[in-house]
Amino acid sequence: MTSAAEVGTESWKDLLKKSRMLVFDFDGTLVDSVSIKWRAFDRCFERFPSQRELISAYCRGNNHTPRWEKFKHVYEEILRLPYTREVEQELHRCFERETTEQISRAPALPGAPEFLGRIRPNVRTALLSSTPHEILLTILEKRGWANWFDEVQGAPVNKAAWLKRLVAKGFAPDQVLFFGDTAEDAAAAREAGCGFIPVPDLQDFRKLLENP
C-alpha cells in the first residue's frame, strides 16, 4: 500500500516538473534556524519574566511579522511601556547579536544544498524571506549561497503580493512553486494561486531528486 507521504512526494514531483520558477522561504525551509530566532526574542525581553509566556506566544505565532513590528507590539501592547528610539535600537542590536552569525553557521535542512545545486541550471530561483533584506544578503554571502538565487527579497515584504507580482511578470501561477514551512507561507501561495510544498512534510529535499 502506498503511504500518504509517498503520495505527497509524487504529487510534489509533478508540481516541480511543470515549474519555471522555484521560490524558497529561508528560516525553517532551507536552514534550521527557527529556534535561533525564538531564543533571540526570549533574550531581547528577558528583563520581563512575568510576561515571558505572552511575549513568546506572540513572537512565535506571527512568523511573517517583521521583527521591528514585533518589538513595537510587545512594548506597547503587552508590556504597556513607551517604545522609544533608544529601546528600538537596543532591541535590534540584541537580536542581531543573537542571530546573524548563528544563522550563518546553522545547518541546512536535509538535502537543501544538493537540491539547489542540481536544479539551479534548469530553472529560475528566488528567495523570499521575512528576514530584513540587508541582513538576509549578509547571511547568504557568509554561507556562500548568494549565487543560488536569481532574485532575493527580504523584509519588509508581503509574500502573497510578491508572488502575485512574480506571476504578473509572465509566469503562469502553476509555473511558480513556493517552498515554505509555515501556515502563513501556505496561505501566501494559495492567495497567489501558486503551487506549495510544505517542507516539514517533505522532510528531505533529496526525495524530489529520486527517480520513481
pLDDT in tens, 42-66: 999 999 999 999 999 999 999 889 9
pLDDT in tens, 75-127: 999 999 999 999 999 999 999 999 999 999 999 999 999 999 999 889 999 99
Contact criterion met (CB below 8 Å) for 161 and 7: no
> Which residues are CB-contacts of 154 (< 8 A; sequence separation ≥ 6)?
129, 130, 131, 132, 133, 134, 135, 136, 137
> Looking at residue 6, what is its pLDDT?
40
The residue ranges of DSSP E strands in the chain, in sequence order, are 21-24, 124-132, 151-155, 176-180, 195-198
Could you give the CA distance from residue 107 to residue 25 in angstroms, rounded to a whole number? 15
Give residue-wise pLDDT tens across range 10-49: 799 999 999 999 999 999 999 999 999 999 999 999 999 9
pLDDT at 8: 63
Q: What is the C-alpha separation between 193 and 190, in angstroms, rounded?
A: 5
User: Is 1's pLDDT higher than 50?
Assistant: no
CA distance 196 to 16: 10
Please report the pLDDT score of residue 64 as a whole number: 83
3-state helix, strand, coil in the chain (%, to 5): 60, 15, 25
What is the longest distance spanned by two Cα atoms in the chain?
61
What CA–CA distance (Å, rounded) separates 117 from 75? 43
Residue 7's pLDDT is what?
40
Of residues 121 and 193, more confidently modeled: 193
Distance CA 6, CA 28 (A): 22
Mean pLDDT of 175-185: 96
Beta strands in 114-165 (DSSP E): 124-132, 151-155
pLDDT value of residue 210: 83
